[in-house]
Amino acid sequence: MSAPRSTGPDVTHEDIGNRMGFHPADTDLKRRAHEAARTLSIAHGRAMMDILPPSREKSLAATAMQEALMWSNAALALNGGPRDGVSEDDLETMLLGFGIYYGEPDSPL
């Protein structure tokens, strides 16, 4: 007889409502964090697409980067914005440090 499988924590109706509900970016910091995630993701994606040869793997990499942005936005939305201690100046520094050569040319960041 095998041991019962671990099912993990129960997902409640409240959890589903929170996961699938609308979470507006209702502060400037939250909006800037979403913009930074998007701008950095676009820059990273464009740089990688310039490096990678045409292939199935390149397509999968693009899909994975799209998924990473989706989960990044979910993390920001579901958990009240960026982690404690991150300021708008920090977001600007991240963008400048990463370089926005490949980013959106008209990005507000």
Mean pLDDT of 42-46: 90
- pLDDT tens, residue by residue, 56-105: 999 999 999 999 999 999 999 999 999 999 999 999 888 887 765 555 55
Longest dimension (CA), the chain: 62
Q: Residue 106 above 70 pLDDT?
A: no
The span from the CA of 91 to the CA of 83, in Å, is 12
Instruction: Kindly give, in sequence order, each residue whose CB lies less than 8 Å from that of residue 49, ignoring residues fewer than 6 positions away.
Output: 58, 62
The span from the CA of 30 to the CA of 83, in Å, is 10
Q: How many residues in total does the chain contain? A: 109
Q: What is the pLDDT of residue 26?
A: 94
